[in-house]
Amino acid sequence: MKLKELLHVLPFYETNSATIDTIEFNNIEMDSRKVKQGNVFICISGFTVDGHDYVAEAEANGAVAVISEKPVSVKVSIPIIMVSDTNRALPILAAKYFDYPTAKLPLIGVTGTNGKTTVTYLLEKIFNLHKKKTGVIGTIQLKIGEDTYPVANTTPDALILQRIFNKMHNDNVEQAIMEVSSHALDLGRVYGCEYDIAIFTNLSQDHLDYHTDLQDYLRVKSLLFSQLGNSYSNDSQKFAVINEDDPSSNLLKHSTAQHVLTYGCKNKANVMAEDVKLEATGTSFHLNSPAGNIHISSKLIGMFNVYNMLAASAAAIAARVPLPVIKAALESIQGVNGRFEPVAEGQDFAVIVDYAHTPDSLENVLQTSKEFAKKKVYVVVGCGGDRDRSKRPLMATIALKYADHALFTSDNPRTENPKEILDDMIEGLDASNGSFEVIEDRQAAIIKAVNYAKKDDIILIAGKGHETYQVIGHTKHDFDDREVARTAIHAKEK
């Protein structure tokens, strides 16, 4: 592609070179280490690294031009294109370079504090049974058809996103589904994504280390629904799928000009679950919708999963998937990696691993565990370092409210001192609040919980779910709650 053709999508820019009309390039990069011969390098000012400091390295690696938002401090021989904001220019240029892939690819975005991953995987199952090839972007991985790839963030940056969507289109994906984090919305990572359906799961406290307060967090979540667009088409309809039982629902409904499809169990909604029956082995309910009514008998456990199934069902109904397909998919899925996932090694007590790392999600999974517990409930839980400190005592309080005994331990401490994180959790707690102990080493805490457990007890290991690592400092160490629990169970059974 000619550089001049790429830059045509920017209304204003300046350059120090008259040769840009003749320059051709073969890719865009924002990491100087990844630049190859013929690439355009765009300088992004990040939280810890500023791309403007690496222009010389980009040129040495073969860049044919640099896009910058401030003067470059080193002398280079390649053209410099100046724009007012490279973060805003990036998604515009990426969408142009990859020929607007989401305009050719049906796209569903899922946002909310909890449930995003489960909803995306339920939708994947539904569309696969509907004979559609899917692509899924989320917390666990990137998945295109049956192929999986690692991801660094729940929602990748704009350049990587457009590259992924282009690959999906080239690989004949017929339905793209993605988690949309609040960080991605606020930082503009999803600019240029043309959503057909946006789903809201729920809102509760999380990421208040980043957002100023819950209202700001909600404002950012609402961006997904406003970004559905303000115009209508005879050829395609866009939908906002919203949890009617969440107090935030009215604001989100007023944030979009598109069709609204609500779901819920309490307040009157378009798609409703009625006659809900919760069992230790699964869940059943009647699903009533504008498309008709069906009975669902699922292996997924807990009321929070009823909401996840409603969200996925409502989106599938908006996408014109037949109800029998939705029913078959929901009834066939066994579970989602690291989401209320049992660790069953023949022991006579239950061990469940869950990604719950917010007060609301921890309360959901502990409530569900408590409902089915025949005897004691133990919880192993910590809080992440370099993240929202205000939720730490809330997590501990919830753990003591529902569990018979809590073992407070490290999660991903990152650059914080694990002891200080734990001190934040237990501040103000004493024996009158409930039974708990502090064990800084996560492996030791899991082993101790397993050794405590007797017949018909339940152990909930919360916080890390599907993760196979623990971040200490800036280093990822191999660590999988499920494997640690399995080893502890086998050691106990010997």
Give residue for tokens 């699922």: 298
User: Which pLDDT does position 212 carry in this prediction?
Assistant: 59
User: Which pLDDT does position 456 carry in this prediction?
Assistant: 93
CB 300 within 8 A of CB 283: yes
User: Which pLDDT does position 210 carry in this prediction?
Assistant: 52
DSSP for residue 474: T
What digits encode the pLDDT tens for the residues 19-60? 888 999 999 999 999 999 999 999 999 878 899 999 999 999
- Tell me the pLDDT band of 494, cut-offs 50, 70 and 90: confident
What digits encode the pLDDT tens for the residues 214-243? 788 888 899 999 999 999 988 889 999 999
Element (H, E) at 251: helix 249-253
Q: What percent of the chain has pLDDT over 70?
A: 98
Cα diameter, the chain: 78
Average pLDDT of span 428-456: 94
- Tell me the pLDDT band of 380, cut-offs 50, 70 and 90: very high
What digits encode the pLDDT tens for the residues 281-303? 889 999 999 999 999 999 999 99
pLDDT of residue 206 exceeding 80, the answer is no
User: Which pLDDT does position 233 carry in this prediction?
Assistant: 86
Average pLDDT of span 309-317: 98
Which candidate, 189, 185, 188, 263, places its Cα nearest to that of 225?
A: 185
CB 422 within 8 A of CB 475: no
Among 70-74, 245-249, 254-258, 402-406, name the one with the lowest average pLDDT: 70-74
Give residue for tokens 């938002």: 69
- Tell me the pLDDT band of 475, cut-offs 50, 70 and 90: very high
Q: How many helices (H) and strands (E) does the chain have?
A: 15, 24
For the CA atoms of the chain, what is the radius of gyration? 24
User: Which pLDDT does position 182 carry in this prediction?
Assistant: 85
CA 129/CA 141 separation, integer angstroms: 21
Among 175-184, 209-218, 317-326, 340-349, name the one with the lowest average pLDDT: 209-218
Phi–psi pair at 445, nearest 5 degrees: -65, -45
pLDDT of residue 372 exceeding 80, the answer is yes
User: Which pLDDT does position 367 carry in this prediction?
Assistant: 92
Which candidate, 33, 35, 38, 37, places its Cα nearest to that of 6?
A: 38
